[in-house]
Amino acid sequence: MGRRVPSLPPGMRSHRQHPGAPVRGDDRTMVSITQTMGKRRPRGRGERTNPWAYLFIAPAVGLYLVFSVWPIFRGIAMAFTDFRFIYPDTRWEFNGFSNFREMWSDEDFWNAVRVTIRFTLYVLPATVILALILAIAISRVTRMAGFYRWMVYLPVILPVAVTYLMFGQLFNTKFGLINMVLRETFSIRRPPRWLDDPDYALRALALTDIWRGVGFPTLLFLIGIYGIGTELYEAASVDGATGWQQFRSITLPLLKPVFALVLLLGLSSTPMVVDPMLILTGGGPRDSTTSLGLYAYQTAFQLGDLRLGYAAAMNLVLGMSSAVVALIVFRSLRGDEGPSGPRRFPWRRAGAESTQTTSA
Amino acid sequence: MVSTPSTIPAASPKPALLPDQQANRPPRWKQFWRSDWYWHLFMIAVLLVTFVPIIWMVSTSLKDRLGFAEDPAGLIPRNPTLINYRYMLTAVENVPIYMRNSFTLAIGTALLQVFVASLAGYAFARMNFRGKNLILTLLIVSVFIPRSGGLMALYELMTFLHLRNSLIGLILLFAANVPVPIFIMRQAFLAIPKEIEEAAILDGASWFRVYRQIALPLALGGMVIVATLAFITAWSDYLVTFTMIDLDSQMTISVGIQKVLSNSYQSALTAPQFRGQLTGETSDAAMLLTATLPVILFYALLQRWFMRGLTEGAVKL
């Protein structure tokens, strides 16, 4: 095939692609950039600084500094103040760690932590498994793969509010589609009251979030599977490996970096969830859906003195702990493929993995 | 999960089939049986189940009161009618304002982001300057820093800048999300052969002119990708818009839709000509679909670019 592919991302062994894979001019992805990050490229000698360049990057970097970088640092600083929005003077009144002490004895905070953990456990494993299954199915298909990719990603781009309100109607106790089907097809006399029932509300929200969120990991897995190429599978099937064996010993291990990325992104975004609760339940019934993100949001923007400081502290705790969990998972997934680890692929050239392992 | 070598043309290591082997090919039904039909079946089943909510929405929005009462769960309306849409366009306040605001926000964000990101992407692709690699690496790493805690700080900042309740402020805010667009634009510029630009520079053209007149037209693909991502992100956002905007005159449809739905009984009272012809469920469905339609259209028209944008490195959307 005369296709020109300039560079291979690490881990990709072959230019031959799955039948349904899109033809791309350049296979470098951000994923591959993060994998090779931190390695020095040789500096070109005699390259002179072009002052125009600073003018060119100024608008972008300026916007970024003001609206993205500043809020990160200000958010951290705010966590150590008792800033209440209706008293602007309290903006810079630092109070040390008293926000965090208050959190420790705040019953609502701990409830919110439990809700957040339950929500993450409902959503994340299901999303990852579903995404993997969908990605495998799409990669096996010769025709219409583009259509499937399009459909799978469609829920992600829908306006958030529309998706959740739509599911709000689906979960409606009386006229929602789900309960109508349960009543008529499965003749369940009293189907659950979903969003009005403390036992079911969080699960209903989790289902909605899975529906909305599965497209993106599917696409990441799909990129990973397309990157594996078809040669390994051909070799394996010549050797008589069954489909399940191929999946176990080719697809899964080679997708490890993608798993790491998917879990990293999922673990750093799912616990922050605010939207479905804010739109559908407002935290109810009986605080059964007050996630930590929502509790912080209400503290900051809807309740009493609008305590931005306390909310920022809660968000800091939330962000730090989910980042720590995400990094632990990321490292443990990326780490055990090291040079001293078990060699799962005898046919792989020695040292072929070195590009992947050093950067984690 | 048997791989299907027969579907791979040319470069396969096996020699092409000889004529007599071709005669020995398995019969049609066997070929079909060995093909990927069960994966198609699986995908279609999954997609049908997944898209039942949307199909139900579409069908509900095409029913009138009677149609919904007779068959609320039906996925195909018996007597399709557009009355819900007529009701929405004539009787429901604010929907046209919200739609206009949404378009302003989404198009403004897309334009500003294309401008800013293409300038910076060009610098990162073609120019040499101190700190180039450092800045690029910092930009990309910062994508992975969780920033939901920044919402409180952002609220303070926008109040301080008097940009709350203003679409301009929101445009700046959304356009400031530059790392992924810069990366995409840089890739687009790197894909262009640099000889023409070098010649132009030698001939004394300014960098800005080279960028405007030579590089930019050739990087149209990257610009479309960036604009698509920006448009859809800005249109679909809820949390940030909800936090920053509480004036009706500046609200977008993605946030205002909730307000419209909860007020829909009130609007029904003010429009007697529709009384008795529709219910809350049917008109709600019509409004939800209307709020979605522009993104779906955009997504459908530009789907090729969009997928390229995602595979080329849009890690966050």
Asked whether the bond before B294 is cis by omega within 30 degrees of 0, the reply is no
Residue A8 belongs to some domain of the structure: no
Minimal Cα distance from B172: which residue of A?
A63
Give the H/E segment covering residue B66. helix B65-70
- Domain with residue B145: its CATH number is 1.10.3720.10
Show the domain range for B119. 102-255+294-311
Asked whether residue B133 is assigned to any structural domain, the reply reads yes
Residue-range definition of the domain harbouring residue A113 = 55-338
The answer to whether B57 contacts A233, with C-beta atoms less than 8 Å apart, is no
> Is the CB of B142 inside 8 Å of chain A's CB atoms?
yes
Q: Is the Cα dihedral B77, B78, B82, B87 positive or negative? A: negative
* Mean pLDDT of all residues in A167-190: 82
Q: How many domains does chain B have?
A: 1
Where is pLDDT greater, at B122 or B21?
B122
Question: Among residues 211-230 of chain B, which lie with CB inside 8 Å of chain A?
Answer: 211
What total of structural domains would you count in chain A?
Answer: 1
Chain-wide mean pLDDT for chain A? 79
pLDDT in tens, B206-249: 888 888 888 888 888 889 888 988 998 899 899 999 989 988 88
Those residues whose C-beta lies under 8 Å from the C-beta of residue A195, and which sit 6 or more positions away, are A168, A171, A201, A204, A205, A280, A281, A285
Structure tokens at A331: 């490292």
The span from the CA of A154 to the CA of B128, in Å, is: 40
- Domain of A266: which CATH number? 1.10.3720.10
Provide mean pLDDT across the span B141-146: 76
Residue A47 maps to a domain: no
Mean predicted confidence (pLDDT) in A158-169: 90
In Å, the largest CA–CA distance within chain A is 80
Range A318-339 average pLDDT: 78
- Please tell me which of the candidates B4, B261, B314 has its beta carbon nearest to residue A165: B261
Q: Are B3 and A230 in contact (CB < 8 Å)?
A: yes
pLDDT exceeds 60 at position A32? no
Closest CA to A255 of A125, A136, A162: A136
Residue B83 lies in a domain: no
- Rounded Cα–Cα distance for residues A37 and B139 (Å): 12
Q: Domain for residue B189, yes or no?
A: yes
What secondary structure letter does DSSP report for B10? T
Rounded to whole angstroms, the Cα distance separating A33 from A79 reads 33
Tell whether A91 is covered by a domain.
yes
Asked whether residue B27 is assigned to any structural domain, the reply reads no
Q: What is the pLDDT of residue B93?
A: 74
pTM of the entire predicted model: 0.80
The string of DSSP letters for A235-260 reads HHHHTT--HHHHIIIIIHHHTHHHHH
Asked whether the ipTM of the predicted complex exceeds the cut of 0.95, the reply is: no
- DSSP reduced 3-state for B121: helix
Q: Is B9 left (phi over 0), alpha (psi -120 to 50) or beta?
A: beta
Chains A, B: CB pairs < 8 Å: 311
Task: Give contacts of B145 with chain A, Cβ < 8 Å.
Answer: 72
pLDDT band at B80 (very low <50, low <70, confident <90, very high): confident
Measure Cα distances from B315 to A25, A261, B141, B186, B189 in Å. 19, 10, 11, 16, 20
